[in-house]
Amino acid sequence: MTTSRPEFLQGISPHHGEVVRNVLNREIRQKLAAKLDAMPSSETWYADIYAKAIYGPMVFRDQDLGIADTIKQLLPEYRILADLYLEKTPGDDGFPFHTDFDSIGFMERPEEMLTVWIPLTPVNEVGSGQLSIVMEEGAVRLSLIREANQLHSLLRVVDPTVPEHPPFQMTRQEHEYMERTKFTPSLDAGDALLFCNAFFHKSEGVAQGKRAAYIMRLVPKNAKFNRMRLLGLKKLGQNLAVVNELLEQYYPDALEP
C-alpha cells in the first residue's frame, strides 16, 4: 500500500493510488494470458493505438481463473462491471493524460468507478510501460471540471435542447503540472494499481518487448446509473456490452421498441 493519503483524497476516493502486491499469482496469470492470447483484437479505436486491445473479454466471469473471488476478498464493497486487455509495444502511443468519462459517463457519480490495473509483465522501470496517476488536489479539481464538461456533452447527445459548450482543453502549464506531480509505481507482474477513473492517468512508453495489462472496472455495489446518459452512450455506440447490460437490468422499459 502507498503511505501518506491527504484527507481530501481519502474523502473522494478510498482506494485511489493504492498498490496491492501479487493479486494474480503466476498460475492464474499464465491461464489468463493463454485465454487472452487466443482472443482476437477488438474492432475499436483502442486497437489503433495499441498492438492489441480487447475491449470487454469478460474473463473475470470465468470460474477457473477465480478472478471474481479474488476481487471479492480484496474489495468486498465493489462489483466488477467490465474488463479490458491492452498489449503495448515500442511503436504504440498509448493514452496521454486522460480520464474515462466518455465510456463510463453512465454512473451517477462516475468518479466512484475504480480501476484495478494489473500488469501481466513487470513494469518496474522507465521504458517498461508503467502507468502514471495524478493525486494532487489541483489535478483532481481539474479532472472534476472535465467530468462536468463530458457529462454535459453526453446529455446533449440525447437532448439537443442542452446548449453546446466548448470541449475541455488542458493548458501547457496544466500538462506540465501533471507531469511534475504524477505518481508512477513500480509493479511486478500480477501486482495491482487501484485508481479512480475520474483522476488523470496516462500510459508511459515501452522501449522494447511487449507490455501486457489486464484491467478491470469496478463500481460500488450500491452505485446508481443514469438512464439518460446510458442512452447517450448507446446512441454513440460506446462500451455497448456494459451499457446494454445495465439498461436491461435497471431501465428495461428504455429498450422497448
Ligand X SMILES: O=C(O)CCC(=O)C(=O)O
Binding site for ligand X (CB under 6 A): 86, 88, 94-95, 100, 115, 117, 131, 201, 203, 213, 215
- Between CA 45 and CA 53, with CA 50 as vertex, the angle to 5 degrees is 70
Residue 53: beta bridge partners? 86
Q: Which residues contact 47 (CB under 8 A, 6 or more apart)?
A: 41, 53
User: At its nearest, how many Å lie between ligand X and the CB of residue 180?
Assistant: 20
User: At its nearest, how many Å lie between ligand X and the CB of residue 251?
Assistant: 26
Q: Which residue is nearest to ligand X (CB)?
A: 203
User: At its nearest, how many Å lie between ligand X and the CB of residue 103?
Assistant: 9
- Nearer Cβ to ligand X, position 83 or 136? 83
- Nearer Cβ to ligand X, position 197 or 231? 197
- Nearer Cβ to ligand X, position 29 or 201? 201
- Nearer Cβ to ligand X, position 116 or 243? 116
- Nearer Cβ to ligand X, position 231 or 239? 239
Cα four-point dihedral sign 62, 25, 40, 80: positive
- Nearer Cβ to ligand X, position 109 or 156? 109
User: At its nearest, how many Å lie between ligand X and the CB of residue 13?
Assistant: 15
How is the chain split among helix, strand and coil, in percent rounded to 5? 40, 20, 40
User: At its nearest, how many Å lie between ligand X and the CB of residue 187?
Assistant: 11
Question: Could you tell me the maximum CA-CA distance found in the chain, to the nearest angstrom?
Answer: 54
Nine-digit cell string for 104: 463510463
- Nearer Cβ to ligand X, position 213 or 243? 213
User: At its nearest, how many Å lie between ligand X and the CB of residue 46?
Assistant: 9
Contact of 85 with 216, CB cutoff 8 Å? no
User: At its nearest, how many Å lie between ligand X and the CB of residue 119?
Assistant: 8
Nine-digit cell string for 171: 493548458
Of 84, 201, 60, the residue nearest 139 (C-alpha): 201
- Strands (DSSP E) along the chain, which ranges? 18-20, 52-55, 78-88, 114-119, 131-133, 192-196, 201-203, 211-220
CA distances from 153 to 9, 131, 170, 207, 245 (A): 27, 28, 17, 37, 23
Strand, coil or helix: 109: coil
